[in-house]
Each structure stands twice: as structure tokens, then as C-alpha cells.
């Protein structure tokens, strides 16, 4: 095996171009993906190799081109739809929730929709309240969709490959802070769309997170290690399906947990995980589970306010200390 | 742009219009500098090249008329009389900003000036303009709402739904399309099956006219006709101003999709150089007057920077302020 250093962005590009070379049904469409090279430059150069038929610029028409992706999937293609950012995907919500997520079921299992919808998500670039939100949970709420949030370079490639092999509609979230991250990855790594992964093994407490918050959480775990607190960090990777076994196994090991996410606190991913543990592993807990989540405010522009509106490393550290101090 | 039209206006008025366009140009240039210096962050979209539209339309609107725009709205705000200081402070993220630092460059607001904001979801504010018009009609107010948007917005469903609704309900809305022939990196011919935008508006029975948006005198004349028509007929109106943006889409754009020569050609037809030439021929403007204007503008910009620099960061304890109205 041979290892290569690449960015998260390049890992996505590699998965896309590989799939396009191997399968003529695969094509990609979205705003400014061809001539402009993609808002986050993921598709830069691909139109040269594959032509503008298969790297297809669309007008500003999120509802129509996302719906067209669903239709093309019904018609036997394997489309990748790129939506610039999750806030704009709201224009396509009807297509995704009323069509992509339902047709398989409404037709009594006759049709399949092998579609991948990729979009950027998250805050950190001072883009204010119409460009910065983390709405993953809205999609994770919906049966019929798969929702993945690769947080590493290896997962960016591997999960996109797996999504392209999947016969169901897969929504893939790429946190804006990750595109420039680089890492060395092996050739031919395989990733599935259902397994969470332990990113750091520990004994004292489990930190459960995904996407852009993974790296802040790992950093918090480092700082806590210096205080002799041994954190286990579990990267969910997929929100739907959610890897119950991995979550419960880690809880059974550490008996404490903090869930970290950028999305708003109420009705969020953390709330779901807390409910799951309540149902399945209540007696394993040595302390109530805590959550570090987005503050319930549309993300503000000013840097200090934006930073304060999503969990940062010190917030995670403080939450862990709080849980450890509240042992029953 | 001709001498005949010029003579319909006084020298004083023409110099004021010229001054306003120059003021916006210099403000935008300084904003770009401040962006590079890291003082302004997030997305920054500049209005260079399109000044005649904001200045001309605002000149014709009455104080009681409302307006709403896009993320490329500094020029409109300035031309309407929103204080430069409060705009600059907003882009710095300071609490003295016109949106208290919550919005940034893309989300300027000013209730007193009846400015319903910079909106960053393309097409998302057209329905709001319809609603503002509806409120005016239902409350028997004899005013107009001007709604500014780009050529890219015309591809969104919200454009079509809004024009239909405004025409159906006979609402006093002035739709102002700033057609600069590009939506980010996508040229209009690659975005629209019908590039005659007036044909689209006409299909909804909205009276429509295409105008040279680089000619401030035509902008004003056609805007006046539109306002008269709206008032007389209780019906919406569509103005397509053809223009060009001289700079990149935003500060992140490498402009790979257009030829430098094309940009240079348009610059020769720019609203400021053309008006300057006409005014000089008329002997209404000379180098000494321009110098004086430049000095006055530079002083105002400098004062706005000092105001922003001396402004305050809103305390983080206020983070969730203004998510809801205070209890009455
Ligand atoms: C619904 C939505 N989709 C995509 C974007 C990203 N985006 C911002 S501006 C823009 C181009 C808009 O072009 P146009 O309407 O012509 O206005 P211009 O920037 O030329 O003034 C795009 C694609 C967005 N803000 N909103
Ligand atoms: Mg445009």
C-alpha cells in the first residue's frame, strides 16, 4: 500500500473523479461547479477532464436542479448534486424531503434513488446568519435519507465513495473549516456509511461528536489529558443511521459522556443521543450526560459573537470538568 | 446619455449625482483595502461599475418609499442616506453598526430609511417586497417598494412566484434587476434559456423596460416613469438595468470565467467616466471641482473608519439579544 498526503478538498475530488472514470452514469451538477471551479474549489479542473456535460453548471435554481438530480437517479443515472451551502439547500427541502426520501416507500419499493447531495455546512468564516448554520439535524430527522458528516481526509474520500455505491439518497455535509485540512492517507481505504469510529481511546469519559467539532473535541481531550483526565472521543461520522452500538459500548466503558455539536441545542443530535442512552444504558451512567451545543441564536457576523455561539475548546473542557465533578 | 437630457436637470443636481457615484466608488475601494487588512471579514461584494443604478433610483424614490436589496448593497444604503459611519462600523462588527454588528457587509438594515435589508439568499427577498407592497396597499399608503436583485435571481422560483403575485394582486412594487450579466462565475447565456429578462416579466403581465444602467440620466428618467406608472395603475413594474461589475464577485473570486479584455471594455463605458465626460463638455465640472469632491469624500471615509475603529464590541453576555422581541 502506498500513502499520499492530500487535503480534504482533494480527497473529495479524488472520489468524484474516480467514480466518474469508472461509471459513465456518474455526473455532478451545481452552481458554479464547472467554469468557476466550485465555491470551495472541490471540482476545480474536473470540467476539463470530464466535459461540461458531466460537470454541469446549473442556474441559481436549487429546487429544480436538486429535483432534477432525483429524477435523473430515477432514470438510471448516478448524480452528485452540489449545493453551495446548507442554508441554500432549504430552497430544495421540498424535493429532498417530499421526493427523495419518500419515493422508494410510496412506490412500495419499486424505485431506487441512488443520489448523493453534497453541501458545505457550519460557521467560522463570519458569513452571518444566512450562510453559517448547521442544519444537519433537520435532514437526520427524515427516514429515507442517509446523512453523513465526514470529519477527516480519509473519510472525505471513503464516505463519498461509499455514498456513491449506495442505492439510497445520501446527504453529505462538509464543514467549511475542513476543506484545507491535510493528512496522509493510504490508497484503497474502505469506509462504510454506518459505523462510528473511536478517534481517541480513553477510560474516564466519552466525548461524542461529528464533523467540524471533531477537531476541537480532540484538542480539548489533549488539554484534559494534561489534567489527568482520560477522554475517549467518538466520531459519529453518520447521523442517519446512527451507530447505537458504538455509542452504548463506549458509555459502558467510561460511564460518562459529553455530546458536542455546532447545531442549536434544542431538539438536536445531542438530544437524540442523550435519549438513546437514557433508554438503553441508564444504569451505566455515573453522571448525567452533558451537551455542548450551538447557542440558540442565528449566527451573528461579529467574530467574537460568532465564536461564542458555537462550542469552542474551552467550553468542551469546562463541560467535561462539570460532568466529572457531578458524579453521583 | 445626451446633452438634451442633461438640460432637463440643473447643474447642481448633476454635480450631486456625480458626487454620490464617486462617493460610493471610493467607499468600495476603501472597503476592499480594509478587507485585505483584515478589518472587514466574511463575504464582501463590491458595487464598482453599478453605481448609476443605486444613485439614480434613490434619487427618484421619495422618503416614504421602501427598498430592499441583496448582499451587494453598500451603494444603495449610501445613496439612500444611511450614514457611512454606521455602515463602516457594521462591517467592522461593532455595536455602533447599522445592524449592531450582527449582519456585516451583506446585511445592512436601516428602519428609519425604510431599508429592509441586504439579503443573502439569492431571490429570497423578492417575496418580501411583494409583502411590503401588500401591506402598503392594504393600509392605503401611496408608496412604492423598490426591490433590487441580480440577473442570477431571475432563475430562482421565487422570482417567478413573486412577479406573478405582484401582478395578480396589483401591488406597488418596483422590481429593479441589476443585470451585470454574471451570477458569480456563470454568464447569463449559460444561466437563462431566455436572456431577454423583460420577456419574462411581461409574461406575468408586469410592465417592463430594459435600460442602459451605465447612464445615470436614463436610470432616473425610466425610474420616474416607472414610479408614475405604478402610482397611476396600481401595478408592479420591472426595470432591467444593464450594467457590469468591474471587480470580482466577492473577495474570494479569482475571475477565471471572464476575459480581462471584456472587463476593460466595460470600464470604458463606466457610469462615472461617461457622466464626467458629459459634465465636462457642458462645462459644469472641471478638475478643480473633482479635486474638491475627492477631498470631501476622503474626509468622510476617514471619519467613518475612525468611528468604526473607536466603536465597541457588543458584550458576549448580549449574545442572544434580539432573537425575539422583548415582552410587551
Ligand atoms: C439561494 C442561493 N443560492 C446560491 C447563493 C450563492 N450566491 C451568492 S451571490 C450568487 C450570484 C448571484 O448573482 P446575481 O443574482 O446576478 O447578483 P450579482 O452578484 O451579480 O449582483 C450566488 C450564486 C446564494 N447566496 N443563495
Ligand atoms: Mg449578476
Enumerate the domain spans of chain A. 3-186, 197-324
Ligand 1 and B182: CB distance under 6 A: yes
Residue A328 scores a pLDDT above 70: no
If you average pLDDT over residues A290-319, what whole number do you get? 98
CATH number of B3-318: 3.40.50.970
Rounded to the nearest 5 degrees, what angle is found at the Cα of B160, between the Cα atoms of A98 and A85?
55
Distance in angstroms (rounded) separating the CA atoms of residues B29 and B48: 8
Among B42, B186, B323, beta carbon nearest to A127: B42
Among B103, B313, B319, beta carbon nearest to A295: B319
pLDDT in tens, chain B (328 residues): 778 888 889 999 999 999 999 999 999 999 999 999 999 999 999 999 999 999 999 999 999 999 999 999 999 999 999 999 999 999 999 999 999 999 999 999 999 999 999 999 999 999 999 999 999 999 999 999 999 999 999 999 999 999 999 999 999 999 999 999 999 999 999 999 999 999 999 999 999 999 999 999 999 999 999 999 999 999 999 999 999 999 999 998 989 999 999 999 999 999 999 999 999 999 999 999 999 999 999 999 999 999 999 999 999 999 999 999 987 6
CATH number of A197-324: 3.40.50.920
Q: Which one of A30, A84, A128 would you pick to mutate in the ligand 1 pocket, going by the greatest count of ligand atoms within 8 A of its CB?
A: A84
Among B41, B185, B316, beta carbon nearest to A35: B185
pLDDT score at B5: 85
Contacts 24+ apart (CB under 8 A), A105-114: A105/A144, A111/A74, A112/A73, A112/A167, A112/A168, A113/A70, A113/A73, A113/A74, A113/A167, A113/A168, A113/A169, A114/A73, A114/A78, A114/A166, A114/A167, A114/A168, A114/A169
Substitution target in A35, A52, A60 with the highest count of B β-carbons within 10 Å is: A60
- How many Å lie between the centroid of ligand 2 and the Cα of residue B264? 17
Task: Report chain A residues whose CB lies below 8 A from the CB of B319.
Answer: 295, 297, 300, 305, 308-309
pLDDT score at A327: 66
Q: Whose CA is nearest to atom 11 of ligand 1?
A: B183
| R_g over Cα of chain B | 19
| R_g over Cα of chain A | 20
pLDDT tens-digit profile of A7-62?
A: 999 999 999 999 999 999 999 999 999 999 999 999 999 999 999 999 999 999 99
Q: How far is CA B294 from CA B23, B269, B302, in A?
A: 8, 21, 12
Q: Which one of A30, A31, A36, A60 would you pick to mutate in the ligand 1 pocket, going by the greatest count of ligand atoms within 8 A of its CB?
A: A60
Check if B155 contacts A (Cβ < 8 Å): yes
Task: Report chain B residues whose CB lies below 8 A from the CB of A64.
Answer: 157
The pair phi, psi for residue A174, each rounded to 5°, is -115, 110
Residue A316 scores a pLDDT above 80: yes
Tell me how crowded residue A187 is: count the other CB atoms within 10 A of its CB. 8
B249 Cα nearest atom in ligand 1: 19
Ligand 1 and A297: CB distance under 6 A: no
* Catalytic residue numbers of A, as ranges: 62, 131
Tell me how crowded residue A160 is: count the other CB atoms within 10 A of its CB. 27
Q: Whose CA is nearest to atom 25 of ligand 1?
A: B121
Distance in angstroms (rounded) separating the CA atoms of residues B220 and B223: 5
Ligand 1 and B73: CB distance under 6 A: no
CATH superfamily of A3-186: Thiamin diphosphate (ThDP)-binding fold, Pyr/PP domains (3.40.50.970)
pLDDT score at B4: 83
- What is the DSSP secondary-structure string of B76-111? HHHHHT--HHHHHHHHHT-TTSTTTTSS-TT---BT
Task: Report chain B residues whose CB lies below 8 A from the CB of A35.
Answer: 185-186, 190, 256-257
- B121/A88 CB distance under 8 A: yes
In terms of CA atoms, which chain A residue is nearest residue B103? A301
8-state DSSP, A161: H
Residue A297 scores a pLDDT above 70: yes
What pTM did the predictor assign?
0.97
pLDDT tens-digit profile of A57-94?
A: 999 999 999 999 999 999 999 999 999 999 999 999 99
Distance in angstroms (rounded) separating the CA atoms of residues B118 and B173: 17
Task: Report chain B residues whose CB lies below 8 A from the CB of A55.
Answer: none
Q: Which one of B69, B105, B107, B122 would you pick to mutate in the ligand 1 pocket, going by the greatest count of ligand atoms within 8 A of its CB?
A: B122
If you average pLDDT over residues A194-213, what whole number do you get? 98
- A36/B107 CB distance under 8 A: no
Distance in angstroms (rounded) separating the CA atoms of residues A256 and A249: 12
Chain B, window 3-22: residues with a beta carbon less than 8 angstroms from a chain A beta carbon: none
Ligand 1 and B163: CB distance under 6 A: no
pLDDT score at B148: 98
Check if A127 contacts B (Cβ < 8 Å): yes
Q: Residue ranges of the alpha helices (H) in A183-302?
A: 213-225, 244-254, 269-281
B124 Cα nearest atom in ligand 1: 1
- A129/B107 CB distance under 8 A: yes
- A127/B183 CB distance under 8 A: no
8-state DSSP, B316: G
8-state DSSP, A221: H
pLDDT tens-digit profile of A211-251?
A: 999 999 999 999 999 999 999 999 999 999 999 999 999 99
Q: Percent of chain A scored above 70 by pLDDT?
A: 99
Amino acid at each position: 500500500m502506498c500513502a499520499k498526503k492530500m487535503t480534504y478538498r482533494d480527497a473529495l475530488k479524488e472520489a468524484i473523479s474516480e467514480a466518474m472514470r469508472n461509471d459513465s452514469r456518474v455526473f455532478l451538477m451545481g452552481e458554479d461547479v464547472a467554469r468557476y471551479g466550485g465555491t470551495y474549489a472541490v471540482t476545480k479542473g474536473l470540467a476539463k477532464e470530464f466535459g461540461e456535460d458531466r460537470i454541469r453548471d446549473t442556474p441559481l435554481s436549487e429546487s429544480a436542479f436538486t429535483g432534477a438530480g432525483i429524477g435523473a437517479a430515477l432514470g438510471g443515472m448516478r448524480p452528485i448534486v452540489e449545493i453551495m451551502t446548507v442554508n441554500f439547500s432549504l430552497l430544495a427541502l421540498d424535493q429532498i424531503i417530499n421526493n427523495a426520501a419518500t419515493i422508494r416507500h410510496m412506490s412500495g419499493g419499486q424505485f431506487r434513488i441512488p443520489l448523493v447531495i453534497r453541501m458545505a455546512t457550519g460557521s467560522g468564516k463570519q458569513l452571518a446568519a444566512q450562510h453559517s448554520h448547521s442544519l444537519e439535524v433537520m435532514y437526520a430527522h427524515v427516514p429515507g435519507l442517509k446523512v453523513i458528516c465526514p470529519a477527516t481526509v480519509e473519510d472525505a474520500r471513503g464516505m463519498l465513495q461509499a455514498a456513491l455505491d449506495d442505492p439510497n439518497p445520501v446527504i453529505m455535509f462538509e464543514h467549511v473549516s475542513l476543506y484545507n485540512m491535510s493528512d496522509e492517507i493510504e490508497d484503497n481505504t474502505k469506509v462504510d456509511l454506518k459505523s462510528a469510529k473511536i478517534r481517541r481511546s480513553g477510560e474516564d469519559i466519552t466525548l461524542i461528536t461529528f464533523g467540524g467539532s471533531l477537531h476541537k473535541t480532540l484538542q480539548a481531550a489533549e488539554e484534559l489529558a494534561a489534567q489527568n483526565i482520560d477522554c475517549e472521543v467518538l466520531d459519529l461520522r453518520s447521523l442517519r443511521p446512527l451507530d447505537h452500538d458504538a455509542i452504548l459500548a463506549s458509555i459502558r466503558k467510561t460511564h460518562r459522556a459529553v455530546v458536542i455539536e455546532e447545531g442549536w441545542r434544542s431538539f438536536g443530535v445531542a438530544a437524540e443521543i442523550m435519549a438513546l442512552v437514557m433508554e438503553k444504558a441508564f444504569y451505566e451512567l455515573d453522571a448525567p450526560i452533558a451537551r455542548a451545543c450551538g447557542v440558540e441564536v442565528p449566527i451573528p457576523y461579529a467574530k467574537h459573537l460568532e465564536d461564542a455561539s458555537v462550542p469552542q475548546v474551552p467550553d468542551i473542557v469546562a463541560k467535561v470538568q462539570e460532568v466529572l465533578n457531578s458524579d453521583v | 446619455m445626451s446633452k438634451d437630457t442633461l438640460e432637463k436637470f440643473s447643474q447642481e443636481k448633476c454635480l450631486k449625482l456625480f458626487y454620490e457615484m464617486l462617493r460610493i466608488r471610493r467607499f468600495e475601494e476603501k472597503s476592499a483595502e480594509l478587507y485585505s487588512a483584515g478589518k472587514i471579514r466574511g463575504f464582501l461584494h463590491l458595487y464598482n461599475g453599478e453605481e448609476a443604478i443605486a444613485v439614480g433610483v434613490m434619487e427618484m424614490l421619495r422618503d416614504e418609499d421602501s427598498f430592499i436589496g441583496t448582499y451587494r448593497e453598500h451603494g444603495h444604503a449610501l445613496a439612500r442616506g444611511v450614514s457611512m459611519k454606521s455602515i463602516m462600523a457594521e462591517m467592522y462588527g461593532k455595536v455602533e453598526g447599522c445592524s449592531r454588528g450582527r449582519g456585516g457587509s451583506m446585511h445592512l438594515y436601516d428602519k428609519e430609511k425604510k431599508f429592509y435589508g441586504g439579503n443573502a439568499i439569492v431571490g429570497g427577498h423578492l417575496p418580501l417586497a411583494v409583502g411590503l407592497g401588500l401591506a402598503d396597499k392594504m393600509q392605503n399608503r401611496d408608496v412604492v417598494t423598490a426591490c433590487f436583485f441580480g440577473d442570477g435571481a431571475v432563475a430562482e422560483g421565487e422570482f417567478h412566484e413573486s412577479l406573478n403575485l405582484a401582478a395578480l394582486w396589483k401591488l406597488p412594487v418596483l422590481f429593479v434587476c441589476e443585470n451585470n450579466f454574471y451570477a458569480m462565475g456563470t454568464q447569463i447565456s449559460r444561466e437563462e434559456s431566455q436572456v431577454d429578462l423583460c420577456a419574462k416579466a411581461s409574461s406575468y403581465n408586469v410592465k417592463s423596460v430594459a435600460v442602459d444602467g451605465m447612464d445615470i440620466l436614463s436610470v432616473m428618467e425610466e425610474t420616474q416613469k416607472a414610479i408614475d406608472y405604478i402610482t397611476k395603475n396600481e401595478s408592479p413594474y420591472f426595470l432591467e438595468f444593464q450594467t457590469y461589475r468591474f471587480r470580482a464577485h466577492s473577495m474570494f473570486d479569482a475571475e477565471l470565467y471572464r476575459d480581462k479584455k471584456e472587463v476593460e471594455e466595460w470600464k470604458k463605458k463606466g457610469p462615472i467616466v461617461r457622466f464626467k465626460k458629459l459634465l465636462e463638455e457642458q462645462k459644469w465640472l472641471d478638475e478643480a471641482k473633482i479635486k474638491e469632491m475627492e477631498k470631501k469624500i476622503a474626509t468622510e471615509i476617514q471619519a467613518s473608519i475612525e468611528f468604526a475603529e473607536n466603536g465597541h464590541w457588543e458584550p458576549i453576555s448580549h449574545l442572544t439579544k434580539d432573537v425575539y422581541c422583548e415582552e410587551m
